């Protein structure tokens, strides 16, 4: 019975489980998985989500798909280096080491993520919220291009030293010259970017709209004049051809 308890104790102590919180790594980079065990292994096996990654039997190794040309195994340290990380490389990595005829194993959680994209900020006004211009309410929306994993994205607004979490922010507008600046930061565990927005951008730029309309009208007039000029030139050319033909028909 004592041998049985000793065996159970030995198995649990020789198979420590690494921390369960994932290690975040940027897509396209590399990462080194390092077993915390001393002693040179007689054999090494690394798995990813239960599938073999690389296997070493003491004399030669074999690398399995889709990790060919992307992993380097330390035969003495059992360290596994992975390069060119992809989203599908996320998951649980497990090693099994035979050291002095004793099996050791542990797990690592890896999460491959991308850098966050530069956010864009849009404004939607609710002019019916108040008859007073200074009381017009508006909602700012901070959006970022979807990049895996969406669950790790964090949105945060900042204005006048105050912080507000979430993609939307409700503000009170002044007038079209309102210079209040709002910034939206989008972050994940490895990267962060910030975009800014000025309150006056909530008001449509009427001057630019008028300029655009005027420009279109002028362009239309120029095109009409060109068409009329071409038509007139062709008519004159035909008239001249008629007269020249008549002159040729007059007998000497």
Buried b (16+ CB within 10 A) or exposed e, 75-111: eeebbbebeebeeebbbebbbbbebeeeebbbebebb
Quote the Cα angle for 35-97-13, to 5°. 75
**Which CATH number does the domain housing residue 194 bear?**
2.60.40.10
Does the residue 183 lie in any domain?
yes
Quick check: 44 and 73 in contact, CB under 8 A?
yes
Quick check: 97 and 37 in contact, CB under 8 A?
yes
Q: Are residues 149 and 105 in the same domain?
A: no
Does the residue 68 lie in any domain?
yes
Q: Are residues 109 and 35 in the same domain?
A: yes
Does the residue 148 lie in any domain?
yes
Q: Are residues 6 and 107 in the same domain?
A: yes
- Tell me which of 9-13, 221-225, 232-236 is least confident: 9-13
What average pLDDT does range 84-111 have in this prediction?
A: 95
Final residue before a domain boundary, out of 202, 217, 245 = 202
Quick check: 61 and 54 in contact, CB under 8 A?
yes
The answer to whether residue 6 scores a pLDDT higher than 90 is no
Does the residue 232 lie in any domain?
no
pTM of the complete model beyond 0.85: no
Cα–Cα distance, 182 to 199 (Å, whole number): 8
For residue range 122-165, what is the model confidence (pLDDT) as tens digits? 999 876 554 444 568 999 999 998 887 777 789 999 998 899 99
Mean pLDDT of the chain, nearest integer: 81
Output the pLDDT for position 10: 41
The answer to whether residue 61 scores a pLDDT higher than 60 is yes
Q: Are residues 131 and 84 in the same domain?
A: no
Residue 111: strand pairing partners: 24
Provide the residue range defining the domain that includes 12: 2-113
Output the pLDDT for position 167: 95
Q: Are residues 74 and 130 in the same domain?
A: no
Cα–Cα distance, 26 to 147 (Å, whole number): 12
Q: Are residues 191 and 149 in the same domain?
A: yes
For the chain, the domain total comes to 2
Output the pLDDT for position 3: 43
The answer to whether residue 7 scores a pLDDT higher than 60 is no
Output the pLDDT for position 42: 95
Output the pLDDT for position 44: 97
Does the residue 244 lie in any domain?
no
Output the pLDDT for position 184: 97
Does the residue 229 lie in any domain?
no
Q: Are residues 99 and 148 in the same domain?
A: no
Q: Are residues 135 and 66 in the same domain?
A: no
The answer to whether residue 211 scores a pLDDT higher than 50 is no
- Tell me which of 38-42, 53-57, 68-72, 248-252 is least confident: 248-252
Q: Are residues 31 and 92 in the same domain?
A: yes
Does the residue 94 lie in any domain?
yes
Q: Which residues contact 195 (CB under 8 A, 6 or more apart)?
A: 118, 119, 120, 121, 142, 183, 184
Quick check: 106 and 18 in contact, CB under 8 A?
yes
Confidence of residue 89 (pLDDT cuts 50, 70, 90): very high
Does the residue 243 lie in any domain?
no
Question: Could you tell me which residue, 48 or 203, shows the higher pLDDT?
Answer: 48
């Amino acid at each position: 019975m004592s041998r049985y308890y000793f065996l159970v104790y030995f198995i649990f102590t020789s198979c420590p489980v690494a921390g369960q919180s994932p290690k975040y790594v940027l897509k396209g980079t590399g990462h080194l998985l390092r077993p915390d065990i001393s002693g040179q292994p007689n054999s090494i096996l690394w798995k990813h989500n239960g599938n073999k990654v690389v296997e070493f039997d003491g004399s030669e190794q074999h690398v399995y798909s889709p990790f060919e040309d992307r992993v380097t195994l330390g035969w003495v340290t059992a360290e596994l280096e992975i390069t060119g990380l992809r989203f599908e490389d996320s998951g649980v990595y497990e090693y099994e080491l035979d050291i002095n005829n004793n099996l050791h194993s542990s797990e690592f959680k890896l999460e491959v993520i991308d850098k966050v994209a530069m956010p864009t900020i849009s404004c939607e006004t609710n002019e019916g919220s108040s008859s007073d211009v200074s009381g017009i309410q508006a909602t700012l929306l901070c959006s970022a291009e979807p990049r895996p994993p969406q669950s790790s994205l964090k949105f945060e607004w900042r204005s006048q030293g105050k912080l507000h979490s979430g993609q939307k922010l409700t503000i009170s507008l002044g007038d079209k010259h309102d210079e209040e600046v709002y910034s939206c930061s989008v972050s994940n565990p490895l990267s962060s970017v910030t975009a800014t927005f000025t309150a006056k951008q909530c008001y449509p730029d009427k001057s630019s709209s008028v300029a655009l309309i005027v420009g279109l009208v002028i362009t239309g007039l120029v095109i009409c004049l060109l068409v009329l000029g071409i038509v007139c030139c062709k008519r004159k050319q035909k008239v001249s051809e008629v007269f020249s033909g008549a002159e040729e028909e007059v007998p000497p």
